[in-house]
Amino acid sequence: MPTAPTATDAGTTRSRDEAVSTGFQIELVARGEATAEIFISGDLLLRDAAGFWRALRKQIAAAGAARTIDIDLSGVREIEGGVMALLLQLVGELQAREVESEIRGAKGPVADVLGLYGTPDKVDLRTKPRTEGMLSQIGRATVAIITEVKAVLSFVGELVLAIFGVLRNPSSMNWSGVFPIMERAGADALPIILLINFLVGFVMGFQGAVQLKQFGANIFVADLVGLAVAREFGPLMAAIIVCGRSGAAFAAEIGTMKVSEEIDALRTMGFGPVRYLVLPRILGLMLVMPLLTLIADAIAMFGGLLVGVFSLDLTPVGYLLETQKAVSAWDVMSGVIKSIFFAFAIALVACQQGLATAGGAEGVGRRTTSSVVAILFSLILIDAAFTVVFYALGL
């Protein structure tokens, strides 16, 4: 029960709030107008938290305008976590009002609970990153490049050995995996290849028509579209689409198998991952890519035909005859030859990146992204090399 304030020493006033039935006692000692201290004794249990909180608030109000209010727990025998949380909340409220406050005097189990619930105000759990010098960055990048080159050379060596092994013993290859790859990379890719290449031929026809109309050379739109599609855009656009679909899928599938240790399981059972996973993908893609290229050529030329007929007033027969005159069998075959090398590059890079995967799901995503970027670079490089060679040979 509350008691009236009593004066003891000079400048010291005591106010006591007792709760005998609940087993705790709170006493406020005011030392002057600016400093006060709250002494708490007894057992502070969670069942008494409501009464304890009211009594504590009453003593804080009695402290008036004191700028320092400390809470002494030296007389507390037992305290539960919920009550300690209330004390810490009170200290936080006082500090927010610019009143200096701290909990002190805790001993034994009470000190343990305080240490568990109380945290320092300023704790920097983050370690400051070390600034890496330029020389260290160059060294790290060089080591990464050397490691990647070694991994690629090792993969190519395994692939060559696997090819010779299959030539000696054809039954050692996973032939049953070739046709599903052809279906996924070929038949499933037809809708997007038809759409993209139709638009390529359509747009190319319009772009050529704008210029050729000025000279009355409308018929040469067929030459422009036919040659550009057969030699360059047909195989290249088909390869880019297959890269985004099948190349990324190959890298993600094999990468997932690598991080889930399925590759190790294959080796344990005596199946080489190159013969069982890589060769079927390379062979399946190399078989289906020429067909996709021919289909891409045909649909792109059809897009150009629509432009010639409906925009340039050409007849379908006249357009087709001009295309036949401009585009030779070699022009089509050159694109088919490119497509075979494109398919080999797509499957090779995607499978190598998949087998090099490490680090869980993040590693799979990183290697899939790297495979698509590397494949696109390889496609442009191969196309440029063929263009230079064909030009040098007069083909």
CATH number of the domain bearing residue 41:
3.30.750.24
Q: How far is Cα 358 from Cα 16, in angstroms, rounded to an integer?
A: 67
Tokens of 275: 């013969």
Between residues 67 and 315, which one has the greater pLDDT? 315
Regarding whether 75 and 182 lie in a shared domain, the answer is no
Between residues 217 and 391, which one has the greater pLDDT? 391
Q: Choose one of 117, 134, 164: the last residue of a domain.
A: 117
pLDDT exceeds cutoff 90 at 82: no
Q: Choose one of 95, 117, 139: the last residue of a domain.
A: 117
In a domain, 273, yes or no: yes
At 350-360, the pLDDT tens digits run: 998 888 888 78
Q: What is the pLDDT of residue 185?
A: 86
In a domain, 134, yes or no: no
In a domain, 231, yes or no: yes
- pLDDT class for 4, splitting at 50, 70, 90? very low
Q: Choose one of 117, 140, 172: the last residue of a domain.
A: 117
Q: What's the number of domains the chain is made of?
A: 2
pLDDT exceeds cutoff 50 at 47: yes
Q: What is the pLDDT of residue 10?
A: 45
Alpha-carbon Rg of the chain, whole angstroms?
A: 40
Regarding whether 159 and 66 lie in a shared domain, the answer is no
pLDDT exceeds cutoff 60 at 126: no
For strands 12-19 and 35-44, give the pairing: unpaired
Regarding whether 380 and 232 lie in a shared domain, the answer is yes
In a domain, 36, yes or no: yes
Q: What is the pLDDT of residue 118?
A: 66
Regarding whether 165 and 94 lie in a shared domain, the answer is no
Regarding whether 222 and 85 lie in a shared domain, the answer is no
| Total-model pTM | 0.64
Regarding whether 205 and 106 lie in a shared domain, the answer is no
Regarding whether 319 and 181 lie in a shared domain, the answer is yes
- pLDDT class for 16, splitting at 50, 70, 90? low
Regarding whether 309 and 215 lie in a shared domain, the answer is yes
Which residues, 6 or more positions from 226, have their beta carbon under 8 angstroms from its beta carbon?
Answer: 301, 304, 322, 323, 326, 327, 331
Q: How far is Cα 234 from Cα 226, in angstroms, rounded to an integer?
A: 10
Q: What is the pLDDT of residue 170?
A: 84
In a domain, 126, yes or no: no
Q: What is the pLDDT of residue 101?
A: 77
pLDDT exceeds cutoff 70 at 302: yes
Regarding whether 96 and 179 lie in a shared domain, the answer is no
Regarding whether 329 and 217 lie in a shared domain, the answer is yes
Regarding whether 194 and 113 lie in a shared domain, the answer is no
In this structure, the number of other CB atoms found within 10 A of the CB of residue 276 comes to: 19
Regarding whether 203 and 62 lie in a shared domain, the answer is no
At 206-250, the pLDDT tens digits run: 888 888 877 777 888 888 898 999 988 899 999 999 998 888 888
In a domain, 218, yes or no: yes
**12-21 burial code (b ≥16 CB/10 A, e <16):** ebbbbbbbee
Q: Give residue 61's domain range.
A: 24-117
In a domain, 138, yes or no: no
To the nearest whole number, what is the mean pLDDT of the chain?
82
Q: What is the pLDDT of residue 327?
A: 87
In a domain, 11, yes or no: no
In this structure, the number of other CB atoms found within 10 A of the CB of residue 110 comes to: 21
